[in-house]
Homo-oligomer: A and B are copies of this chain.
């Protein structure tokens, strides 16, 4: 098995770009990633493309990756379109990692791309609802926020169990927006107060709008290479992928569920403990999910997630910054791009080039990306651990 390093990483600025095509966003990401790696697209031996809803937004149901990559000069190299809802990007990265790790390719690329904005403003909500089983979905028909409807009672149950308050949820948003303001590629960012977050429009009690990840457009890429290739080409500062674990959901009666299992397996593979981590990018689809994930990843004992946001542990400058990029809440969440964007952020941080949001001395980071909801758990959960 080959050791695998990230040698190129790039994300477009995330935002609402009604006037830009999915292709144009993806092309910007491919150009940025190959430039960052100083590798020509012809040297990339395989491509894994994560996208979730282009069928509903652009009409391109099939061969989405080919429509982008073939006109950028990819000729012959395998292109594989991958879909795992909001975990499509990390799933693409997992497959690119496997291609290199197994020796099938020396250089492979994962591209995550999504356009969610549409002139018909009900379209993104309709699209998101299809990340659940459309026959049995708990989403309310016509809901603009089907996933928040699903999350809300789970977040409420978590609050009842742990004593987390609406103020704690608001603190997650305040942190995310503060970090996002330091990230030029984030969709949002700014100085908010807890009261401003609590006073925003209620989407699904207890989640106000600012506690929910937004609709947005964007693309991100990573290029992975084998240690042999990295040595041969004297590539400086690779960021090593020391674990890549993908799981589907776990039957509801069994604990722990997919996220916790993926994380503990990744820690074991990487021989890393949660206390060894210097930063995390996690799937804060909403502010409550972030607190729940603190516990599921193993950062805090059962029931003690809220402490980490109250005492500043997960702030930039705290002991374990979470989502220095701004996370889904502020960097944004163009579905299929998110998992790759998390790896882009970790790569920048572990290279020490994350600018105003740099986590000082960071050498070990974890990315966690969840997608869909089927059978009482996430449809897919993917955890990567990276080391400088």
Given contact pairs A52-B61, A66-B374, A79 touches B261 in the complex (Cβ within 8 A): no
Shortest Cβ gap from A269 to chain B (Å): 12
Chain B minimum-CB-distance residue to A104: B98
User: Interface centre among A1, A79, A101, by most B CB within 10 Å?
Assistant: A79
Known A69-B248, A130-B60, A375-B70; contact A80-B84, beta-carbon cutoff 8 A: yes
List residues of chain B with CB within 8 A of the CB of A282. Answer: none
CB-CB under 8 A from A374, the residues of chain B are: 63, 66-67, 70
Q: Is the CB–CB distance between B79 and A64 below 8 Å?
A: no
> A371 contacts which of B52, B63, B91, B258 (Cβ < 8 Å)?
B63
* Among candidates B62, B98, B246, residue contacting A83 with C-beta atoms closer than 8 Å: B62
Q: How far is the CA of A31 from the CA of B67 in the complex (A)?
A: 35
Q: How far is the CB of A112 from chain B (nearest CB, A)?
A: 14
Q: Enumerate chain B residues within 8 angstroms of A355, measured Cβ to Cβ.
A: none
Give the Cβ gap from A14 to chain B, nearest Cβ, in Å.
20
User: Do residues A79 and B248 form an inter-chain contact, with CB atoms below 8 A?
Assistant: yes
A181 interface residue (CB < 8 Å to B): no
Q: Which of A244-290 contact B (CB under 8 A)?
A: 246-251, 254, 258, 261
- A133 x B67 contact (CB < 8 A): yes
Q: Which residues of A contact B (CB under 8 A)?
A: 1, 23, 47, 52-53, 55-56, 58-64, 66-67, 69-71, 74-85, 91, 95, 98-99, 101-104, 127, 130-135, 246-251, 254, 258, 261, 371-372, 374-375, 379-380
- Supply 6 further A-B pairs (C-beta < 8 A) apart from A63-B83, A102-B103: A52-B61, A52-B62, A53-B62, A61-B127, A66-B380, A78-B247
Q: Which residue of B lies closest to A374 (CB)?
A: B66
Q: Which residues of B contact A127 (CB under 8 A)?
A: 61
Given that A66-B379, A102-B101, A127-B61 are known contacts, is A76 also in contact with B250, CB under 8 Å in the complex?
Answer: yes
Q: Is the interface of A mostly helix, strand, loop or mixed?
A: mixed
Cα A82 to Cα B64 with chains together (Å): 11
Contact between B247 and A77, CB atoms less than 8 A apart = yes
Residue of A80, A102, A134, A371 most packed against chain B (CB within 10 A): A80
Chain B's closest residue to A251 (CB) is: B75
Once the chains are docked, how many angstroms separate the CA of A101 from the CA of B99? 11
A20 to chain B, nearest CB (A): 14
**How distant is A218 from chain B, measured CB to nearest CB, in Å?**
18
Give the 5 A-B residue pairs with the shortest CB-CB distance, closest first: A102-B102, A70-B375, A61-B130, A63-B372, A81-B83
Instruction: For A131, give the chain B residue with the smallest CB separation.
Output: B62
Q: Which residue in B66, B104, B130 is a CB contact (below 8 Å) of A62?
A: B130
Q: How far in angstroms is the closest Cβ of chain B from A72?
A: 10
Contact across chains for A248 and B1 when beta carbons are under 8 A apart: no
A-B contact pairs, 8 of them (CB 8 A): A58-B134, A59-B134, A63-B130, A63-B132, A64-B83, A80-B84, A81-B83, A102-B103
How far, in Å, is A259 (CB) from chain B's closest CB? 11
Is B102 a contact partner of A98 (Cβ separation < 8 A)? yes
| Cβ contacts under 8 Å, A47 to chain B | 248
Asked if A80 and B91 make an inter-chain contact with CB atoms under 8 angstroms apart, the answer reads: yes
Q: Are B102's CB and A70's CB within 8 A?
A: no
Contacts of A70 in B (CB 8 A): 248-249, 374-375, 379
